[in-house]
Amino acid sequence: MRRPSFFPLLLALFGASTALAQLPPLPKPGESQREANDQIEGTIFEYKGTPSSDLEKKDANKTLAGKFRIEGSAVLDVSPTFALPSKEEVKRLAGKVVEGKGIDLKLPAPPQQKRLGEFRKISGGKLRFDFNDKESLQGIMIIWKKKKTDDVYIGTFDEREGTKTVRKWDVEVRPIED
């Protein structure tokens, strides 16, 4: 009678153990599985600004506040929008339903996030944001980490109309959601 060979079993176990040894370590409980350099991308930031000079204190009633999200080098609005049908289109479709006719209702496209501008890292650990949205932000924001904090940034925002700077702001930017 022939005995079963344990060699294939040992080979399978040895091969599996070397494959397991090459896997990255498991995260500790409560620890994130994010990449080490993924501290900014995908985070939603909140910004607030105050006029930066006495000359602009006359604009004290103006506020600079809002939110944005970063993806790649893009700065995106966090309030997604989609287009609704016009009043005439709704009346036309409702009329067909009242008459008992079947209709094919076209659903709106999924929400789109509007691109506000771009960002890039510059020297000294600073970040430069080039905003070019005529409805919300238009200008250049340069921020850097506030001393003795891990997640608060401070800096300046030069609000522009075309190529002309119309207002300067001191800004504070902080992550509010990840």
Asked if residue 40 lies in contact with residue 160, where contact means CB atoms within 8 angstroms, the answer is no
Mean pLDDT, rounded, for 121-144: 91
Render pLDDT for 5-32 as a digit per residue (tens, 0 to 9).
555 554 455 554 444 445 555 555 555 4
- Whole-number pLDDT of residue 89: 83
What tokens were used for 164? Answer: 């002309």
Name 37's Cβ contacts closer than 8 Å, sequence gap at least 6: none
* Distance of alpha carbon 158 from alpha carbon 130, whole angstroms: 10
Beta bridge partners of 56: none
- Whole-number pLDDT of residue 70: 87
Q: The tokens 């040895």 sit on which residue? A: 14
Asked if residue 75 lies in contact with residue 45, where contact means CB atoms within 8 angstroms, the answer is no
Output phi, psi for 55, to 5 deg.
-60, -30
* Nearest-5° Cα angle at 68, 65 to 74: 140
Asked if residue 107 lies in contact with residue 116, where contact means CB atoms within 8 angstroms, the answer is no
SS3 43: coil
What tokens were used for 43? Answer: 């985070």
Render pLDDT for 63-86 as a digit per residue (tens, 0 to 9).
788 888 888 888 888 876 666 778
